[in-house]
Structure formats: C-alpha cells, structure tokens
Structure 1
Amino acid sequence: MKKRPIIGITMGDPAGNGSELSVKVLLDKKVYETCRPIIIGDANCMEAIVKILKKENDIKIHTVKNVKDAFFEYGTIDVYDMGMVNMEKHIYGKVSKMCGEAAFQYVVKVIELAINGDIDATVTNALNKEAINMAGHHYSGHTEIYADYTHTDKYTMMLAHEDLRVVHVSTHVSLRQACDKVKKARVLEVIRIANEGCKAIGIENPKIGVAGLNPHSGENGLFGTEEIEEIQPAIDEAIAEGICIPEGIPTPPDTIFSKALGGWYDIVVAMYHDQGHIPLKVEGFHYNKELKKWDAVSGVNITLGIPIIRVSVDHGTGFDLAGKGISSELSLANSIDYAIRLASNK
C-alpha cells in the first residue's frame, strides 16, 4: 500500500459547523486507512464539539504544535492548535472579528505547511467572508487567499460532484463584470487548466465541454457576440494544442450540463459563478421537505493552477446549524477523498 498522505484540514470559521464536520468525518475509521489527517484550528473548539456530540468515550483531542508530533491514529484527533479562540466570547452562528481572524489564520497556516512539505494536501472547511473582512483581511474567499499566498496569477476553481465537474472563467464578481471577463485569453487559460486538472485526478484524455455565455450560445450573434468573438477563438486554439473539445463550438448553457451528466464531457468550462454552481448544487444538495432537513450536502471545490493541493467543502459555514450536532459531513468526506486522489497522482 502506498504511504498514506498527510491531509491538513482547516477547522473553518469557529462560529460555524466546521469543527462539528471535522469530528464527525474523523469518527470514520476508513479515513485513517487511506490518509493521515490533522486539523488546523483550535483544540478548545474541537473539544467543545466532542462534548456536544457526546463522543467523549470515542474520541480524544491531541494538541500539537508540530505536524511531526501527530499520532495519526483512529480514536485520536490531532489538532494543530492555533490558540485563536476565547471560548468565553465564542458564540455559534454569530459573525465576529475574532472568528474571522481565526479562520483566516488557519488557512494561512495550512498553506504554509503545504508549501514547506509538512503536509501533502490541504482541505478547507468553510469560512465567512464578512467575518474575515471584519478582521481586516479583504479577500472574497478561499481561492483568492490561496492564490495570493502561493503567488499564483493563473488559477480557477473546479467544482465536482461524482462525475460532474465544472471550472469557471470568473467567480466572485458581479454578473455585469463577469460578462466583461469573457475574453479569449482567459477562456483559453481556463480550458488548459481544466485539461490539466482532469489529468491530475487520473483522467488520461479529458473531454472538455465549453459553455456559451448567452442564450442559445448567442444564436449566431442574434443574442450576443461573445461566442463568436471570444469563446470560439479560444476553443480553436485549444483544439490546435491537442485538447479534446468534442463538439468544437460553445455549447448552449441550458443543455451542456445534461450532456455532462450523460458522459459527453469529463469537465465543463462555465463562463461565470452561478452558471457552474447552480447545476452542481442541484445535483449535490438534497433537502427533505417532509423531515425539513438536508439529506445530502455533497460536492467539493478544488483550486486548480496553484502549486499545492487545495480541496474544500462546497457549502457555507452553516451558521444556522452550528453547535446543534445535526450537520452533514458528506461534503467534507468527499473533499478528503479528492485530496487523497490528487496527492496520490501528484
């Protein structure tokens, strides 16, 4: 058996459900059979959740200040303790400067550990954008933090749920700005990143679908010219480089994801945030209206183009669920699985 990769998992915003998800996912012995997990966060928050879940007899928190001191044994959760949270001021579900600062520093630390080679891959629980900005860190999300701290200019996020994968030309900008960002150079860049991203998870000859921006992909210029002027030239150049884009043209956004689910593509290049996020979450998020609870919150977010491995849950901080012991750890489990695949193929 190959050596189990060390996976650094950030706790996320301490006021959210990341600590609960971390404990729940590490209650599964199979995780320890495939990797060596370590939580980057606050030990006191993790201990509080163990008590809320009434798992004191099953799980012990082991505090470390160095990855080398971790046990990596089932029944013990190793926590790289950052000491950022005062539990007397800690409130589940409340945006705060303290929790924003903590969540941000967890991310900075896990990036540092990965760059230094102390861990093989990083997995992130959700942070709250308002909270980190309140703490003075003006980023729109994890992806931008990773890009900044790894000094990366060319990057994108990939969302994945089972065999449905999506990358984006733009993400955290307004819809008006997103349309302006559909330029040949960026579309081509993302096609290339999508191709390499699929290869990184073991797909030898990726098939890539490229979405149009406008209804019906512009209908030959009737509903917009971005497909003709920007997207098609990017597709033509990508094909000339040997990248497989089966249809060779921008595919209408209202059919491309159905085709992807049918196996036409290994990955879809979406033109903006919601164009890619909505179909992924329709597939991965299932709400039980009779029981009034989420049966599944699955899917992962992978940052492509950076020099380290980063996979994240594809949901928010769960402030409305935090501290109640009812959150689903499925997305975190999926994220760890993807991180292991990426580390194994690196």
Structure 2
Amino acid sequence: MKFTKNRFSVRTATAVAALLCAAQAAWALEPFKVQDIRVEGLQRVEAGTIFASMPLRVGDDYNDDKGAAAIRALFALGLFKDVRLEANGNVLVVVVEERPTIAGVDFVGTKEFDKEALQKAMRDVGLAEGRPFDKALADRAEQELKRQYINRSLYGAEIVTTVTPIERNRVNLTFSVTEGDAAKINDIRIVGNSAFSESTLKKQFDQDTGGWLSWYTKSDRYARSKLNADLETLRSYYLQRGYLDFRIDSTQVAISPDKQKISLVVNIHEGEKFVVSGVNLEGNYLDREDEFKSLVKIRAGQPYNADLVTETTKAFSDHFSKFGFAFA
C-alpha cells in the first residue's frame, strides 16, 4: 500500500489493513471535533454505505482509536482495497480505493465437471459477475477445485487462475485446467486375514483394480469416500460371521511418482470367532413364549450375528404392538 502526501497541506492519517481487517494509524491526527465528513474515490459504492458503516458521526470528537475503528469497519465491508483518513480543518476526509468488480468467471479445459455447475458453485461462494473481486477467495476456490479433482483420482490436474483487468475497474476471472489422466488402482492388499482368503475379502469392495466395465463404473478410480464405504462393508462382513473383536488397524494409500497408479494396503485384526451357545427368553411374554420363540432369527451353534439380533428385537417389538404394547 502506498502512502501519499496530504493534498491539503494539513494533518493526515493513513491506515494499513491486514487480511484480518486490522487497521492502525500510520500518522497520528490531533484530536478534533468533526464538523463534516467527505468521501472521495467512490465509483460504484454508495456514500450512504460508508456513513452507515463508520462509527464516527458529525459532532463526534475524533481520536486515533475511533479512526482505527472506522478503518476496520470499512475494510470489513470487503469493498475496498485501500482506505485512508485525512483531515482538512475540522472536515474528516475518507479516501477509498474500491476493489475491482468481477465482469465474468470462465473455466477452460474442464471435462470432468460441468461448466455450469462450476459457475454456480463460484456464485455460491461470492465469485460472480458484479461481485467485488477478492484474491484470497479466488485462491481458496482454486484449492477447492484442485481438491475435487483429487477426489476423482485426477492427481496430476493443474489449475492456473488468471485475473485480467478490463475497463471501468473490472476484471475477468479465468480458471484454466489441465486435467491429465486419472490415477487407477494398481493393487489392493489385505494383511492380517486368516479366516477368509484375500480374494474373498476383496470381492466385498466396490473399488477394484479394473475390469472390462471400469471405463463406465470407474471402479478402479480411488476415492477416500469409496474406501471408507468399502472398509465398513469389510467390517460388517466379519461382524456378521461372529468376529466381534474385528478391527481395521490401518490403511495405507501409495501413489506412484508419475501419479498414475495407486496401491492400497488394509491391515486388519480378525480376533476370535464367537458362536451362539443358546438362546433364552426372559421377562413377560404375555404367556405367548412359543409365538415369540418363532420370531427368533439367531440359532444356537451359529456364529453370533448382530444383524440377526437386531432383526429379532424389531420382530419382538412389532409383535408386542399387536397386543397394545407400543413401547415394549
């Protein structure tokens, strides 16, 4: 930010705003009673916006603390990239430099995402035609776009954001994307299994190393959300077969130097297998024990299955409700 000489050859105050909208006086002004407030530098912003936002009014006594508060308030609007306070006699002069407004947002080279959907997403975060341009916001949008490409296994995607100034203090914002090829799962390993073969366990996964339909299903594209879903499926597979102490100790995801191949390693602990030794009914069953016994899904001698226990509990609740016991 540049410091400028006082055009009125009188007392001058300048403020520097950090990204967090903090402001401090560069040259202190002597306290004075504000007889008038004048705003200079406005192009599109209404003067009323300035007056409504400043904590200073005509008739107030000006001091450095109030000046710093006024500058912070104006920067907080997000409409200005520079704000200065000057004094001409007892007139407080607010000199502002408006941020450029966005004339348009465009995307070049995007095939993986629909351009209209991307533009809508940008509008939702404030990067749209007619809005003040915020470089920090554009940088965050670029990083989020990069993250979305990574979620689709496009680890080599490169994004360049270009800001082109045009007339009337406006800018065109362009995101140029080189998507590259998607990284594909080259290998999946499951370590720690003994009760079931690795091939049997990998069949539970939606993600795989590819097949003749992978071009359509994209099953060989890695995504953290897909991996989490596959791990839950694996956990359910063991729990349904009596392995109550099953756990997933860790997962490792490794990508090749050329960002084209991904290897997954899942480390598991199976634990001991539990088998049901017997099933008993206790409590008040309305003298209909035989009816309730017929609803029991789990059997003695079978591996403990939490899903079957849940089904049995629900069947009992539904049967009780038939006799007026809605909250059994």
TM range (shorter): under 0.3
Report the structure number with the largest CA radius of gyration: 2
The structure showing larger relative contact order (alpha-carbon pairs under 8 Å, at least 6 residues apart) is 1
TM-score normalized with structure 1 length: 0.21
TM-score normalized with structure 2 length: 0.22
- Give the structure with the higher percent strand: 2
- Give the structure with the higher percent helix: 1
